[in-house]
Amino acid sequence: MENKDVIVYRLGAGCDLADVEEGKIYQAKVQGFATFGMFAQINDRIKGLVHKSNIKAEHKERDPVLVRVRQIRPNGNIDLEEVLVQVYQVQNVDRKSTIVCISDLAGKVGKTVAIEGEIAQIKQTSGPTIFTIVDETGTQNAAAFVEAGVRAYPDAELDDIVKIVGEVMLRNNQLQIEVDSLSVLRDEDAAAVKIRIEKALDARSEPENIPLLVQSDVMEKLRPEMRKIAKIIRKAVFTSQPIILRHHADADGICSAVAIEQAVVSLIKDSGGDFDADYFLFKRAPSKAPFYEIEDITRDLDFSLKDHIRYGQKMPLVLLTDNGSTEEDEPAYKIASVYDIPFVVIDHHHPDATIDKYLKAHVNPYHAGGDFGITAGMLGTEVARLINPKVERLIRHLPAVAGVGDRSEAAERALFLTLVHDQYPEQVCKDIALALDYEQFWLRFNDGREIIKDILNLTGNPERHRKLVSLLVEGANFMIEDQMSASMPHVVPRVLKNEAHLFLIDVEIHAHKFTFPPPGKTSGEVHDRLCKQNAGIPVVTIGFGPDFAVLRSRGVLMNIPKMVRELRNEIPGGGISGGGHLVVGSIKFVEGMRDVVLEALIGKISDADIQKGK
């Protein structure tokens, strides 16, 4: 029989008996033989019997064959007959299945379902291909198997909108869909699903409208930008976009970053990710400098590109906290822009206007009439509460630790200390801050995730927390005193024309090297002692080495970032860079120009105004 109008149906892999109709012709393959006929598979799930009286040609196993459905019996058995058709049209039959939301899959174990969503990750294992699918309600893994280590559905790519049909299974107590069929949606179908997902995700990512932990006019003005950052981070979690969090390696930067880490990790777990998703979707890393330098972006880019290729991950969202606001960050931003990596910043360093064009959002107290006294730890904790309010109980003491660790003199410091005074009085907060600085020195530039959590009392083991902090503080204070006994006799005093008292210490030759405290903290400890010795007098301390100087000031109204920019223009060949806060910062230069740069720097300090009462 030859008729080009004959329709032959190809039954999709996800179809079951409900999708088969009597009288229609289907593509099949021979499965086996019996004395009474031949078994034919219409798809991997459905087979029927061609009685020997209805076999029209000789066959062997796995031969293609066309069969008409004569009858579907009440018990589910199918009677078939072979048909011989030379010319025909083929139509695909997809499963007649209602689309199920990912959030409803827990109640569908053992059932075949259909989901529609966006591919967020494609991971090829030694067995199946794992597709991570995001819809408007959640994230789900779907396993598709062709043969061991072979990529299933190679035409499906990252960010494609797809329809998946498969059985919901439990693997290692994790929900997973065993894929029967995956089809990439195109044009209007894809656009409709994309719009539906985007609209729902936008609403789902919106943070709760919760009050600040303390009363602060500056932080209240920053709430819209804090909410914006929280929404960006929440959406990254819900779409399985990796997040890299970079922070300054001191107590303030650590507190800010760890508060956000607790919020993000818990949100990842609550959103149905893999049991270890918080490790491969979130990475926290200290930065060597108080800015995002080229070494940082190089490491992060290398890490991300490898994961993009090996594990099919999206390129990351990068969050910078206690750094990211100054022109020193710009070279790294330029490199990242080649790869369209989005950045958000939570910082309290004096911001440069040239930076915001690289950022999706930027929280900085200077944008709201504040200054560096509102620390990154304070800001980061408030953002963390917006990301996931459930972590508030764990992290509400971190702003107090950050405030004392960064020597904040803002009114907010006292408010945050009062908030947690019963459990974390000021001296306890100071001890925790010192323990963080000391431990981070030995961690170098590892995150020390679990150790840091113990120091901050986030693991539910308060006795271990107390013992660890006590030991670290004892070790830190011993080494600080040893360093001060070596350094203080070599401090050189000057009185400047503005009556500020300047103290200089060469920390390269008059301090222990490669140990705690490092040059920056050594200079700070020297400054603290000099301030006590010179109560009521404006004090500036400069700790310097061959090619750097660290500045600390009390009562002298300097603008270190501005001074650095001026010196760079005024001293050709100085190789000058640096920055920081207005009265706390650092400057780098070429070694051969050290004396010239230091004298020019001292000249600018002597021109600065003096703060009355200091």
Q: Which residue has the tokens 């963390």?
A: 384
Sign of CA dihedral 200, 357, 282, 178: positive
Look at residue 97 in the predicted model and tell me its pLDDT. 64
Mean pLDDT is lowest, of 42-46, 202-206, 284-288, 422-426, for 42-46
| pLDDT tens for each residue of 534-575 | 999 999 999 999 999 999 999 998 888 889 999 999 999 999
Q: Which residue type does 203 have?
A: A
Six-digit token string for 292: 């995002």
Percentage, residues of the chain above pLDDT 90: 78
Q: How many other CB atoms sit within 10 Å of the CB of residue 261?
A: 27
**What residues pair up with 179 in beta bridges, in sequence order?**
166
Mean pLDDT is lowest, of 382-396, 484-498, 554-568, for 554-568
- Could you give the angle at which helices 426-443 and 398-405 cross, rounded to 10 degrees? 80
Six-digit token string for 554: 């009390």
The vertex-37 CA angle with 34 and 39, nearest 5°, equals 80
135 touches 164 (CB < 8 A): no
Mean pLDDT is lowest, of 92-101, 206-215, 515-524, for 92-101
Q: Are 7-93 and 206-396 the same fold in CATH?
A: no
The stretch 416-425 carries a mean pLDDT of 97
Confidence of residue 608 (pLDDT cuts 50, 70, 90): very high
Higher pLDDT, 6 or 172: 6
Could you give the CA distance from residue 135 to residue 99 in angstroms, rounded to a whole number?
A: 11
Cis peptide before 74 (omega within 30 of 0): no
Look at residue 98 in the predicted model and tell me its pLDDT. 72
Q: What is the 3-state secondary structure of 271-337?
A: CCCCCCHHHHCEEEEEECCCCCCHHHHHHHHHHHHHHHHHHCCCCCEEEEECCCCCHHHHHHHHHHH
Residues sharing a CB contact under 8 Å with residue 57, sequence separation 6 or more, in sequence order: 82, 84
Listed by start position, the domains of the chain span 7-93, 102-203, 206-396, 491-610
Look at residue 277 in the predicted model and tell me its pLDDT. 65
CATH 1.10.10 fits domain 491-610: no
Q: Which residue type does 560 have?
A: I
Mean pLDDT in the chain? 92
Could you give the CA distance from residue 533 to residue 570 in angstroms, rounded to a whole number?
A: 35
| pLDDT tens for each residue of 163-180 | 998 889 988 888 899 998
Mean pLDDT is lowest, of 120-129, 379-388, 393-402, 482-491, for 120-129
Q: Which residue has the tokens 């009439």?
A: 369
Sign of CA dihedral 252, 258, 264, 266: negative
Q: Fill in the DSSP letter of residue 356.
A: G
Closest CA to 292 of 337, 234, 228, 258: 337
Could you give the CA distance from residue 263 to residue 387 in angstroms, rounded to a whole number?
A: 6
3-state secondary structure of 27: strand
Confidence of residue 316 (pLDDT cuts 50, 70, 90): very high
CATH architecture of 102-203: Beta Barrel (2.40)
CA dist list (Å): 262 to 51, 249, 343, 386, 552:
65, 18, 20, 12, 32
Percentage, residues of the chain above pLDDT 70: 97
Closest CA to 163 of 136, 191, 133, 143: 133
CATH topology of domain 206-396: inorganic pyrophosphatase (n-terminal core) (3.90.1640)
56 touches 82 (CB < 8 A): yes
Mean pLDDT is lowest, of 84-98, 313-327, 337-351, 426-440, for 84-98
| pLDDT tens for each residue of 243-283 | 999 999 999 999 999 999 999 999 998 876 555 666 778 99
417 touches 429 (CB < 8 A): yes
Could you give the CA distance from residue 530 to residue 97 in angstroms, rounded to a whole number?
A: 76
CATH topology of domain 7-93: OB fold (Dihydrolipoamide Acetyltransferase, E2P) (2.40.50)
Six-digit token string for 42: 């219409």
Residue 3 has pLDDT above 60, yes or no: no
Q: Which residue type does 196 have?
A: R
Upper half-sphere CA count for residue 179 (Cβ side, 13 Å): 23
Confidence of residue 1 (pLDDT cuts 50, 70, 90): very low
448 touches 258 (CB < 8 A): no
Report the phi/psi class of residue 537: left, alpha or beta, with left for phi > 0 and alpha for psi in -120 to 50.
beta
Confidence of residue 582 (pLDDT cuts 50, 70, 90): confident
| pLDDT tens for each residue of 519-538 | 999 999 999 999 999 999 99
| pLDDT tens for each residue of 456-466 | 999 999 999 99
Cis peptide before 517 (omega within 30 of 0): yes
